[in-house]
Structure 1
């Protein structure tokens, strides 16, 4: 078992996230951006290049049972430079994204410092879709921690597990740090996470 230290083409998406930060899906053309896949981008979903999936659904399915709560993912002990690298990755990967201030779509600033400076004054959210069916809410709570959340309902089955593993792996590789998936508000209780040394997502929960 691997142990992690806790703190411790445009606008072609067919799904639209809820403006309130929820994980609802509606038909219609999405606002925000869905950029064409950058062929030079890092691997985003296990299996895209013929690789074997990091985790098998039958081995971790009990960690994803919907119970009305979200699943959070964290990178701990981050810096402004790592936040910038994370936001740049969202653009590089070609994922759909929409940046919201007080639930109103705005252009995502080039420099993440601007976002973090505005955060104490207003509600800010970056919504990302690695694939149309999976929404990742990115919160800018603090410089020292990257926190995002997923809905377990959207992560059922091997294909969706590959998506979340691909997201954790892409972020972890870019930052050179673990990124762990946990129960909602449970950063000290990781379920799975990107292992830097192994360069793959592994199960952590016993």
Structure 2
């Protein structure tokens, strides 16, 4: 698919927030398949000891744990010069995040897009790219088996913004607050907020498109 970087780059303009990738409505079995896939196909670092393999048993136990006693571990995937992070927040929602400052060209974007397509194909699931903590508003939607690969143009986003009932109004408010606060360390802020708030999944049926 031929794309024009000038039509895409607005999504990755740095504003102090992150870009998220979501797979909604998943099961532990899909998590296991994803872990096997990542271990086999990507250079990665897992946990504080920087293991180059994800400990699948540990992750499944952590995602299934109701006591809060199992140690949380983070994952970094090295993707063609782009760092993709995963924190294993929820058993029914897979979430990655990236710093938009690392997406500076069509080649960078295509690396992320291919990553999403591969996961969609593997899990037979829809995969979306969104603003930080806004799974309801996909900016890019990929579903390999349904032959869906659509990225919003800025004009399409502006039309949705005009709808007062759309989630984009909340997205704009969030980005404004982030710009005002100018987080020096967005990754740390994400972790601190998750420790103080109840973090719940959002089903894809709640997405605005």
Match of 1:114 in 2: 61
Q: Does 1:130 align with 2:75?
A: no
Q: Is 1:73–1:180's contact at 8 Å kept on the other side of the alignment?
A: yes
Cα distance in 2, alignment partners of residues 160 and 88 from structure 1: 24
Relative to the length of structure 2, the TM-score reads 0.65
TM-score normalized by the length of structure 1? 0.66
CA shift for structure 1 position 117: 4.5
1:146 aligns with 94
Q: Partners of 1:113 and 1:66 in 2: how far apart?
A: 34
Matched, 1:96 2:47: no
Alpha-carbon separation, structure 1, partners of 2:144 and 2:83: 24
- Distance in 2 between the 1:200 and 1:96 partners? 28
Q: CA deviation at 1:60?
A: 1.3
- In 1: Cα distance, 2:151 partner to 2:124 partner: 19
Aligned residues: 150
* 1:157 matches 2:105: yes
List structure 1 segments (4+ residues) > 4 angstroms apart after TM superposition. none
2:138 match: secondary structure: coil
Query: In the alignment, is the contact (CA less than 8 A) between 2:124 and 2:145 conserved in 1?
Result: no
Gaps of 5+ in 2: 157-209
Greater strand content: 1
In the other structure, the counterpart of 1:79 is 27
**Any stretches of 5+ residues in structure 1 without a counterpart?**
1-51
Aligned-partner SS, 1:159: helix
